[in-house]
Amino acid sequence: MKTYDRLNRIFILPVILSFVIAIPAFAQTASSDPVKTVYEEAKQDALGICPSIFLRDENGNIINPISGVNVDVPYSPKKTCGECHDYEKITKGYHFLQGKGEKMTKNFEQTYPWCTSPGQYGGRW
Amino acid sequence: MARKNNESPLKIDFTSFIFTYKCGVCHPGGGAAEYDRNGNRYDQFAADPKNGIIPRGENNLDGDYFKSNWAESGVLEADCLICHLKDYNNKKRKKQIQSFNFRWAATAGAGFGEIQGSVGQGKKPKVTYDLTIFRKDGKVVLPVIKEPLNENCLFCHRETDWKKRGSSYNHRTDVHIRAGLRCVDCHLTGRNAEDIRIQGREEHQMGKGDDPGNFVRDDLDNTLRRCEDCHLKGVLNAPVIKHKDLPPQHLTKIACQTCHIPWRQVKAALVQDASVFNNSPRIEPPSKRIWSFYGPDIRPWNYYGDSLSYPEGLQPSFQFRPVLGWYKGKIYPLNRVYTLWVGIKTKGEKGINQPYMKDIFMMWNKHMADPDNNFPQLKKIQDDNLDGFPEVDRAEEIQALLAAVTLMLKQKGDTLEGKDVVFVDGDRFTFDGFEWESIAKKPYEYSPYGSVFKFSHDITPAKNALGAGGCTDCHGSNSDFFFKEIMAKPFNEQGKHLTENNASFLGYSSVALGLMTFQHETLKPLMFWGLPVIFVLLILHYVIIGPNRFDQATNDIPLLRFGAWERVIHYCLLVLFLVLSITGLLTFFTIPFSSDTIEWLNTIHRYCGYLFLLNILLVSSIWLKDAIFTKYDLEWLKKFGGYFGYRGQLPSARFNAGQKIFFWIAFLFAMILGATGLTIIYSEDSNLILIASCLHDGVAFIFIVAVMVHIYLSTLANPGTLKGIFEGKVSRAWAKKHHTIWEANNIEKK
């Protein structure tokens, strides 16, 4: 039993210590992230237009035709613009979804049996 | 669009892959061009061996992967630069999409490099980047525009809005573009948006209008900046609206666009006929030949040929008046598309399904290649009206088309069990060309299967708007607003067009319209000139005939003619009548007051009207017994009351026959004016309002003339009368002269 208690203390101690060390780190993360985000957004607003950027491919790798790195792949708007902008939020706009995922009303569904959405994607002319 | 899960390849026509290929040229990517209906990215899902997706295979009849090649083509990611890059080359993007090079489209469109190869031709594309746009460190500096330019919006909106709305979006046709406005100035987005439904950083729900024919995100309708948002406050230096001399009720019933888009400058499709084959030149891809379009003049229009032949941004001019129709309680300029097509009616179901476009195209294609052996029935379909396009209008032609489509579907393997092939002509369908059944529709539609588009762009300058030339721009008997002929049906059995006037479509009756035009073309000038003429005639009467004088006795004892109560009510009636006449005439004639002033005058008119009615009822109850006609009134009438020269005594009691007539006219007219006035204020029936409005003005005119005569007779024509009205007492001599019997009765009483 004593051996078990000793072992227990040996394991618990580092765990507690690691938590103690980690708390300020978590606290810092929690308090610094919004500030960083706000600052980054403010910087983007101040610039007004995009700064110089690397083009990136679909895997997020840099395309650098000058140094000849990764030059045979097309660029990816998602990874390139998505470095700074919220691609997922932006593409929730109806220009991108074109009605995809939108529910049809019962009347719409009955009147247009061939439609799968009220929008251009699966909808009417 | 094919569903995600299908039981048979016959159930699949338009897949997500085809959607991206065909529609992606006008859609910015992302959404349905990037992710399947389970949320997987198409190319990654297709490339993962464990999903078993075979390039161009049937792939479990999955509507997202059937006969697709996503792994090679890649997906169309949302291309930010299509909207945000100056000088983006959309033609290059389109070319890549049409080569099934979805993954490479954004690179080509942005001009980062040239693409060699085509997935469609089995040659893997290769990028050659343009080194001149890269800095030494390998980065690029892009001329990115935060708020997109009109040119970028028009990559996608120019062509489709041409067909749907006859939109032109150029300096010649649109006052806003001429003023330098951008699309995003009204279609506010992101943090610029004023509507909280779409406001937010990087929020990309563009401010949208409310189109009857579009159903995408209807919950975000009217999130754009409306006309009044700028033109009431002068936002963006917009001229603040004055609408002088425009009765304010127009603004509650008529949309701004109705008057400010009096004409369209380029054609819009009025009829979409999917029942015949279009042999016009320059239609690409050929599958579009199953659609024939007719323009606003109901004449054939090779829209696809025009759109391919004309340089981007240039459209042939064609001026036409928009159809005006009710939509959500207001009159809007609309383009209602009439559709003719072959449908499949399933017994017991409400809607009508349609055969796949590709099958209809193949049927026609086979027939055109060998008319005698492939679907020979179709030879019966002729161009009966010799307008250049054949049309299915006669029962024989309808039967031939239905027989051919039925045969085609059966050849394809469809048993058509429980289903019938039908011909749909606007808001009706038939199984045989003889018996027709109607299809429920909204009042502004030709049919639920024909879209309706509102006109909102290509606004003319205010000086060209309807109403700039006065009320008769719309209310005259020649006005296009009500009386232009609009299409009711494109073809009857002889291939002739059927039309109706716009007023009929708006729900106005011929009686209401007849009275409306009478009011504006006859009554208004009659009143304008009639009232001064009456005034002059009264002066002439005074000069030529002269006043009806009496001998004033020196020892005259005054008689009480009107008590205090009677006099007060009579004063009130006089004042109210004057106020009603002045406010009524000011709003009736085209005087350039602002809408606010007209509204203010209307409010005064309305409340004085209520008081006038109350007074008339009171005075009628008091004077009713004195206003009953008796036999001696006839003698008074025979001599015209002495107003045309007779100077002898005429019998009359408290009121003479003329005053009795005036009493009854006043009572009757007040009741009519009250009833018509209340109708104008409270009725929702547009016909009743037009009828009531004309009656109100006509009766008011006669009433004003009668009161002018009444005032003249009470003052200048009969000296001494005014004393009785204001002081209550008249001289005995006056009474003996004008009201012999009443005077005698008063002596008897004394």
Q: How far is A12 from chain B (nearest CA, A)?
A: 43
How many residues in chain B?
Answer: 750
Same domain, A82 and A51: yes
Of B372, B367, B366, B381, residue with least CA distance to B275: B381
Same domain, A75 and A17: yes
**Shortest CB distance from A54 goes to which of B3, B138, B354?**
B138
Please state the domain count of chain A.
2
Question: Quick one: pLDDT at residue B3?
Answer: 92
Q: Which residue has the higher pLDDT, B299 or A9?
A: B299
Question: Quick one: pLDDT at residue B557?
Answer: 72
Q: Could you give the CA distance from residue A123 to residue B217 in angstroms, rounded to a whole number?
A: 12
- Range list of β-strands (E), B36-99: none
Instruction: Identify the domain containing residue A118 by its residue range.
Output: 93-125
pLDDT higher than 60, residue B319: yes
Classify each residue of B477-508 as buried b or exposed e, where b means 16 or more C-beta atoms within 10 Å of its C-beta.
eebbbbbbebbbbbbeeebebeeebbbbbbeb
DSSP per residue, B168-195: --STTT-HHHHTT--HHHHS--GGG--S
Same domain, A46 and A57: yes
Contact B129 A71 (CB under 8 A): yes
Give mean pLDDT, residues A39-52.
Answer: 78
Helical packing angle, B90-98 and B16-23, nearest 10°: 150
Contact A111 B351 (CB under 8 A): yes
Q: Could you give the CA distance from residue B80 to residue A55 in angstroms, rounded to a whole number?
A: 13
Same domain, A40 and A20: yes
CB-CB neighbors (< 8 A) of A99 in chain B: 215-217
Q: Could you give the CA distance from residue B25 to residue B156 in angstroms, rounded to a whole number?
A: 8
Helical packing angle, B357-369 and B395-412, nearest 10°: 110
Q: Which residue has the higher pLDDT, B33 or B639?
A: B33
Q: pLDDT digits over B564-608, tens only?
A: 888 898 899 999 999 999 999 998 887 778 878 888 999 999 999
Q: Which residues pair with A64 in a beta bridge?
A: A69
Same domain, A45 and A101: no
Q: pLDDT digits over B481-532, tens only?
A: 999 999 999 999 888 999 999 999 999 999 999 999 999 999 999 999 999 9
Of B179, B142, B178, B177, residue with least CA distance to B157: B177
**Shortest CB distance from A96 goes to which of B28, B134, B141?**
B28
Question: Quick one: pLDDT at residue B32?
Answer: 93
Same domain, A65 and A99: no
Give mean pLDDT, residues B282-308.
Answer: 94
Same domain, A38 and A84: yes
Same domain, A78 and A105: no
Across A119-123, B51-55, B117-121, B555-559, least confident range: B555-559
pLDDT higher than 90, residue B5: yes
Instruction: Give Cα separations from B34 to A61, B27, B76, B105 (angstroms).
Output: 20, 12, 6, 13
How many residues in chain A?
Answer: 125
Q: pLDDT digits over B234-258, tens only?
A: 999 999 988 887 888 899 999 999 9
pLDDT higher than 70, residue B412: yes
Of B602, B542, B604, residue with least CA distance to B575: B604
B126 touches chain A (CB under 8 A): yes
DSSP H helical segments within B485-594, as ranges?
502-506, 510-518, 524-544, 564-588
Q: How far is A54 from chain B (nearest CA, A)?
A: 5
Question: Quick one: pLDDT at residue B193?
Answer: 95
H or E stretch covering B486: strand B485-489
pLDDT higher than 90, residue B651: no
Question: Quick one: pLDDT at residue B103?
Answer: 98
Contact (CB, 8 A) for B324 and B333:
yes
Contact (CB, 8 A) for B75 and B34:
yes
B204 touches chain A (CB under 8 A): yes
Q: Could you give the CA distance from residue A7 to residue B233 in angstroms, rounded to a whole number?
A: 78
Contact B203 A86 (CB under 8 A): no
Average pLDDT over chain B, rounded to an integer: 92
Helical packing angle, B686-714 and B524-544, nearest 10°: 10
B426: phi > 0 → left, psi -120 to 50 → alpha, else beta; which?
left
pLDDT band at A32, cuts 50/70/90? Answer: low
Q: Could you give the CA distance from residue B167 to residue B500 in angstroms, rounded to a whole number?
A: 25
**The token pair that represents B438 in the structure block:** 């109607």
Q: How far is A78 from chain B (nearest CA, A)?
A: 6
Question: Quick one: pLDDT at residue B552?
Answer: 62
Contact (CB, 8 A) for B473 and B490:
no
Question: Quick one: pLDDT at residue A28?
Answer: 47
Q: pLDDT digits over B172-194, tens only?
A: 899 999 999 999 999 999 999 99
Of B144, B66, B602, residue with least CA distance to A47: B144
Same domain, A67 and A124: no
Q: Could you give the CA distance from residue A54 to residue A80 in angstroms, rounded to a whole number?
A: 7
pLDDT band at A15, cuts 50/70/90? Answer: low
Q: pLDDT digits over B372-398, tens only?
A: 999 999 999 999 999 999 999 999 999
Q: Could you give the CA distance from residue B288 to residue B253 in angstroms, rounded to a whole number?
A: 40
Q: What percentage of chain B exceeds 90 in pLDDT?
A: 75
Q: pLDDT digits over B79-116, tens only?
A: 999 999 999 999 999 999 999 999 999 999 999 999 99
Q: What percentage of chain A exceeds 90 in pLDDT?
A: 51
Phi and psi at B272, nearest 5°, equal -120, 105
Q: pLDDT digits over B127-176, tens only?
A: 999 999 999 999 999 989 999 999 999 999 998 899 999 999 999 899 99
Question: Quick one: pLDDT at residue B750?
Answer: 47
Of B120, B101, B17, B1, residue with least CA distance to B66: B17
Classify each residue of B730-740 as buried b or exposed e, where b means 16 or more C-beta atoms within 10 Å of its C-beta.
bbbbbbbbbbb
pLDDT higher than 70, residue A20: no
Contact A50 B142 (CB under 8 A): yes
Same domain, A79 and A44: yes
User: If DSSP codes are grouped into helix, strand and coil, which group holds residue B540?
Assistant: helix
B3 touches chain A (CB under 8 A): yes
Question: Quick one: pLDDT at residue A13?
Answer: 56
Q: pLDDT digits over B8-30, tens only?
A: 998 898 999 999 999 998 899 99
Same domain, A98 and A87: no
Q: How far is A28 from chain B (nearest CA, A)?
A: 25
Question: CB neighbours of B449 closer than 8 A, spacing ≥ 6?
Answer: B339, B341, B352, B424, B439
- Range list of β-strands (E), B99-255: 113-118, 123-129
Question: Quick one: pLDDT at residue A21?
Answer: 54
Give mean pLDDT, residues B462-475.
Answer: 92
Contact A94 B216 (CB under 8 A): yes
Q: Could you give the CA distance from residue B380 to residue B383 in angstroms, rounded to a whole number?
A: 10
**Shortest CB distance from A119 goes to which of B204, B216, B353?**
B216
Residue A118: closest CA among chain B residues belongs to which residue? B215
What radius of gyration, in Å, describes the C-alpha atoms of chain A? 26
Question: Quick one: pLDDT at residue B514?
Answer: 95
B625 touches chain A (CB under 8 A): no
Q: Does the predicted model carry a pTM greater than 0.95?
A: no
Domains and CATH numbers, chain B: 9-133 (no CATH), 559-749 (1.20.950.20)
Report the complex ipTM.
Answer: 0.83
Question: CB neighbours of B514 closer than 8 A, spacing ≥ 6?
Answer: none
User: In this complex, how many residue pairs, one in chain A and one in chain B, have their CB atoms less than 8 Å apart?
Assistant: 173
Same domain, A51 and A107: no
Q: How far is A104 from chain B (nearest CA, A)?
A: 9
